[in-house]
Amino acid sequence: MMPLLSLIFSALFILFGTVIVQAFSDSNDDRESSPPDKEEAQEKTGKTEPSFTKENSSKIPKKGFVEVTELTDVTYTSNLVRLRPGHMNVVLILSNSTKTSLLQKFALEVYTFTGSSCLHFSFLSLDKHREWLEYLLEFAQDAAPIPNQYDKHFMERDYTGYVLALNGHKKYFCLFKPQKTVEEEEAMGSCSDLDSSLHLGESRGKPSCGLGSRPIKGKLSKLSLWMERLLEGSLQRFYIPSWPELD
C-alpha cells in the first residue's frame, strides 16, 4: 500500500512541477518578445530624422518665403567652404539686370524644397564674380564648355539662369544649365541679323535687342524637376580639388 501511495504522490508532484515550469517559460517568452517591438518603433521613428533625401524635401515649408542670401566674400566661408556634411547650397547665377526676374522665379521653383534643413539657397552676381564661376565650369566642360580667350563673344557669354548645387564638404557641384526658350532663340537670331547688318553699315539707327522678363524667367522653368533629381542623387557630380577664393 505504501509503495502505491508514494508512486501516486510522485506522479502528482511531477505533473504539478511540469505545469509550473511551463507557466514560467510562457511568461519569459512574452517578456523577450516585447524588446523587438520597441526596436521596430525606434526604427520607424528613426526614419523621420532630418537627412538629405527626397522624402525630407516633401516636408511642409516652415516659412512663407524662400530665404536667399547673396554669396559674397563675407558669407563664402560659412555658406560653402565650411558647410556641414550632408548640407548643400543651391546657388542661382544672375546679373544686375536679371536679378529681380530670376529671383522671383527661383523662389517659386524651390519653395517646396525649403522644408529640408539640409538645403540652403543663395545667389551669385555674374557682374562681380564671373571669373570664379568660369573656373568652376572648367570642371564641367562637357555640360558647359568654356570658350577660349580669343573668342570674340568670350565676355558676352550668358550664364544667367545657371544653378549650381555646391557640396562644400565633399568638394563637388551639380550643374543646372537652362534650356533656351523659343523666344530666346528668336531674339538671339534677330540679334545676330542685326549685328551682321551693323557691320555692313545698313542699320545703324536700329535699337539694341534684348530679352524680356518672360523669356528670362523661362530659363528656370524646369528647375523643380532638376531639384527632385538632386535629392534622388541621380545628377552628375563634378569634383574639384579645392574651392577657389571668391574675390
Can you give the pTM of this predicted structure? 0.65
Domain residues for the domain of 228 are 61-140+156-179+218-246
In 3D space, the residue among 47, 203, 54, 74 whose CA is nearest the CA of residue 115 turns out to be 54
Distances (CA, A) of 11 to 3, 6, 48, 54: 12, 9, 58, 67
Instruction: Evaluate whether residue 53 is within a structural domain.
Output: no
Instruction: Evaluate whether residue 187 is within a structural domain.
Output: no
Instruction: Evaluate whether residue 103 is within a structural domain.
Output: yes
Instruction: Evaluate whether residue 9 is within a structural domain.
Output: no
**Per-residue confidence band for 143, with pLDDT thresholds at 50, 70 and 90:** very low
Q: Percent of the chain, pLDDT > 90?
A: 42
Instruction: Evaluate whether residue 28 is within a structural domain.
Output: no
Instruction: Evaluate whether residue 229 is within a structural domain.
Output: yes
Ranges 3-7, 39-43, 77-81, 232-236, most confident: 232-236
pLDDT at residue number 82: 87
pLDDT at residue number 234: 94
74 vs 201, higher pLDDT:
74
Read off the CATH number of the domain in which 74 is found: 3.40.30.10
Q: How many helices (H) and strands (E) does the chain have?
A: 8, 6
Instruction: Evaluate whether residue 5 is within a structural domain.
Output: no
pLDDT at residue number 130: 94
Instruction: Evaluate whether residue 129 is within a structural domain.
Output: yes
The residues, ordered by sequence, that sit 6+ positions from 24 with a Cβ below 8 Å of its Cβ are: none
Number of structural domains, the chain? 1
